[in-house]
Structure 1
Amino acid sequence: MLVDAGRLLHEEFLAVYRAAAADADGWEDAAEAVAHRVGSRLVSARVPVAQVVVALRSTDRLLTETMLDDGGDARALAAVGTVLAAELMSAFCAQDDGLADALFAGDTPDDAAPFYTVVSVRGVVTDRVVSAFRKRGPVFPATSGHLLLPVAEAVALPLCREVREELGGEVWFCLAERPAARVALARNEVDEIDALVASLGRPPGVYRIDDMLFESAVIRTPEARDELGRVVAPLLANPVLVETVLALLEADGNRAEAVKKLFIHRSTIDYRLWQIEQLTGLSPVNPRDLAVLGTAIALSRTNSLG
């Protein structure tokens, strides 16, 4: 029997939104119970998860606007959609336990999405990240710690930024999209990006291959790696100068900010930058040269330079 997800959600969630709008006691428990029941029904009816996500967003927008127009409690209405989405999506995620591992192993179930965005997580417990994503839609964790989002990278990017902001603290996400049959390649890509981000000491944030194109290209070109290793070998032998380059990178080339990070005088950093240029022939005050120096340091830390 075909199920109209949008109509079902509207009919089942209407009473919950009314209770939340009135900030009635127990509306959270009622929301979880209703969402669990509806989620189980949608799973049994094999309604595609993408269709459910669209219906969820549409229903939340419509019911929230209606209740606010009637003077409903804005705080509770902001929360009710999150509670319902998290519980509803848990039914789909429970159904697909092991999906991420299967896809990474090269298996492609018949009900897999056409493509996935793979996300690597660093700086926070994976369970916290999974819970944050499930408030917003489906997410499939792998035993490796990676996450699969059944959406395009263009959709996953703002979603990851939103989740990272919610989690706060020092959290790094790296992401890459591939068709379902090739998600293992995306996992390799995000691991490579994360290794470079960590080696360069990049600040917490969300990173894609576009953010590391130069570094990634050098890794894949033996001739470039060898030449870069020869040029920067004297720099890599001097930890103080390496620290200076990394501080300047973190400050986006701003010497005043780098001075603050290093707790040194402006004249001291100027002298160090002069030393770096004398040793390597590359000027750290030049954005392109600074990128080259940063790449060399990253590659040396990932054992990609000799």
Structure 2
Amino acid sequence: MSDSSSEPVDFLARVRAVGEKWSGDRHGELVDVLLQAAGDNPELANLVRSSGSILEEFLEGFRRNAGQATSVPRDLAADLIAGRAVPQPVLDSLATRYLVAVVRSGASGRGKAVSAELAGPGVLSTRHDGDLVLLIPDIDDCRTKRITGHLTQWLNGSGWLAVAKRGRAQLADGFREASDVLRLVAAGRRASGMYSINDVLVEYAVIRHEEVTENLVAVIKPLRAHAVLWETLTALIDADYNRNKAAKNLFIHRSTLDYRLQRIAGVTGCDPTSGRGVQLLTAALIADSVR
């Protein structure tokens, strides 16, 4: 190599210069690019030729690995339910239809994981606001029922499983529907289990109409200032409107419960001892919880 001590430094500077102009997508031309930096120095040219092929192979391996890593997003399920764009080849590789399942376990186990065996092969999973979201390929009714059955058992009587079916291009819409169902069954204090839109049609219609929702919230709002009465109403709903059961759950006499229900009627203008009144109050409680 030349005796000039500045030659290696100059060479590296020229390498950086050509590197700034290189598009990076033609690894097979890397040697030619580096030869430009070597200029007329034969020793540097030989160095480029001997080491350039090694660099080419290294970059080709890196390119292939990077291509694989970016072809499938790290959290594909999260991208799909958010409606974010995914590469078309990735979308085409998915099942035609999916069962979107949003799972919320009880307070003590909200963060617990679902085993791979429970989720099953081909199932995409992610978490959203603490809830587990599963995208289950809807290709086998028996398999889908088995997975949802296992998920219901996994809840162990504490929590809810909300589902919706959609095509692979409409998974964000399916997630919104399942999330709304989950919000409604939780707000309605439903029993633990699996629910779909058909189980909450009335409530779903209510929350889709903003003016109706606000009117219902106005009905229940005065009750917020009366903690005992609020507890009494929720206990009545939990007992499926059975007043004897509600009184037992509250550890109070039935006559005390009836007195409180009269007070609720006075505060809200809706009689919780009548069918229409208790339905309206239940809808108002749900609207207040999900608005």
TM-score interval w.r.t. the shorter chain? 0.5 to 0.7
Q: Which residue of 2 aligns with 1:142?
A: 126
Residue equivalent to 1:128: 114
Q: Secondary structure at the match of 2:229?
A: helix
Tell me the residue number matched to 1:261. Answer: 249
Shift of 1:254: 1.2
Letter in 1 for 2:180: E
- Aligned to 1:172, the other structure's residue is in SS state strand
Identity of aligned residues (%): 34
Q: Which amino acid aligns with 1:151?
A: D
1:297 aligns with 2:274: no
CA deviation after TM superposition for structure 1 residue 141, in Å? 0.6
CA contact (8 A) 2:220 2:288 kept: no
- d(CA) in 2 for partners of 1:266, 1:194: 33
| Structure 2 CA distance for aligned equivalents of residues 106 and 154 of structure 1 | 29
Matched with 2:78 is 101
Asked if the contact 2:216/2:287 (under 8 Å) is kept, the reply is no
- Is the CA contact 1:130–1:141 (under 8 Å) kept in the aligned structure 2? no
Instruction: Summarize the Cα distance change of 1:272–1:103 in structure 2 as closer, same or farther, 3 Å threshold.
Output: same
Partner Cα separation in structure 1 for residue 97 and residue 240 of structure 2? 34
- Aligned residue in 1 for 2:225: 237
Q: Distance in 2 between matches of 1:189 and 1:268?
A: 40
Residue 120 of structure 1, CA deviation: 1.1
Q: Deviations over 1:100-154 (max 9, x none)?
A: 23422243611222221111121244532653232xx642212433111112897
**Is 1:116–1:177's contact at 8 Å kept on the other side of the alignment?**
yes
CA offsets, 1:191-230, max 9 Å, x none? 2222233333333221222222222222121221232233
Equivalence for 1:209: 197
- Distance of 2:177 and 2:167 partners within structure 1: 14
Cα shift at 1:284: 2.0
Correspondence 1:184-199 to 2 at 5 A: 184-199=172-187
Shift of 1:256: 1.7
Unmatched runs of 5 consecutive residues or more in structure 1: 1-94
Distance (Å, rounded) in 2 between the aligned partners of 1:243 and 1:154: 41
Shift in alpha-carbon separation, 1:230–1:254, aligned structure 2, 3 A: same
Which range moved further: 274-283 or 110-119? 274-283
CA distance in 1, matches of 2:279, 2:104: 23
Cα RMSD (Å) of the superposition? 2.9
2:138 aligned partner:
151
* Number of the residue aligned with 1:165: 153
How many correspondences in the alignment?
207
2:197 partner letter: I
Letter in 2 for 1:284: P
Q: Distance in 2 between matches of 1:272 and 1:152?
A: 52
- What letter is aligned with 2:272? P
Structure number with bigger Rg: 2
> TM-score scaled by structure 1?
0.59
**Match of 1:128, as an amino acid?**
V
SS at 1:230 equivalent: helix
- Per-residue CA deviations over 1:37-74 (Å, capped at 9, x if unaligned) read xxxxxxxxxxxxxxxxxxxxxxxxxxxxxxxxxxxxxx
Rounded to whole Å, the distance in 1 between the matches of 2:185 and 2:211 is: 22
**Aligned equivalent of 2:98:** 116
